[in-house]
Amino acid sequence: MPQLKPAEQRVADALASHALPAQVIVLEQLATTAQMAADALGVEVGRIVKSLLFKGKDSGKPYLLLVSGSNRVHEKRAGQRIGEVLERPDADFVKLHTGFSIGGVSPYGHPLPLATYLDDALHDYGTVWAAAGDPRSVFEITAADLERTTGATRIDVT
């Protein structure tokens, strides 16, 4: 097994700190999109968790949305549910608040806790797969464990 990069190790440590059975798996190929991850794992794209960071238009606050790979965030409606207009931030904002580069953003291992929202659709699957800090790494988890350990609020993102 390849040695984990520091970002991947942060995720592995976070998973262990929550006593989750999930293991960081390093894939043979990059999985920078939900479809690429689904293809690499041989699962349907809906089981891939997209960890998307948005920025509050007025507050500048970061919001992490954990979204099913088969869904597209309807920014206006999701913002109404969260309580603030959402904007897409630049790569520097994402890296600053998550500690990860776009394509490898994980639900775990951030420098500070983030306001987190979980797509209801993820509960349609027995388990889901999320990025583990790098475009080449993932871990498997139940949506219920993901919701509980990230402190996420469930919302409909579409």
Going from N- to C-terminal start, the domains of the chain cover 6-155
Cα separation of 115 and 64, whole Å? 6
List all residues 6 or more positions away from 66 whose beta carbon is below 8 Å from its beta carbon: 49, 50, 51, 52, 107, 116, 117, 118, 119, 122, 130, 146, 150, 152
Contact 115, 66 (CB under 8 A): no
> How confident is the model at residue 1, as a pLDDT?
56
| Of the candidates 46, 85, 92, 45, the residue with the CA atom closest to the CA atom of residue 63 | 85
Fold of 6-155: YbaK protein (3.90.960)
Cα separation of 150 and 143, whole Å? 11
> How confident is the model at residue 118, as a pLDDT?
98
Local confidence pLDDT in tens for the 158 residues of the chain? 578 999 999 999 999 999 999 999 999 988 989 999 999 999 999 999 999 999 999 999 999 999 999 999 999 999 999 999 999 999 999 999 999 999 999 999 999 999 999 999 999 999 999 999 999 999 999 999 999 999 999 999 99
Tokens 């794992």, residue? 41
Whole-prediction pTM: 0.96
Cα separation of 48 and 140, whole Å? 9
Neighbouring CB atoms inside 10 A of 90's CB total 11
Compute the 3-state secondary structure of the chain and give helix, strand, coil in percent, each to the nearest 5. 35, 25, 45
CA distances from 63 to 33, 45, 89 (A): 20, 23, 10
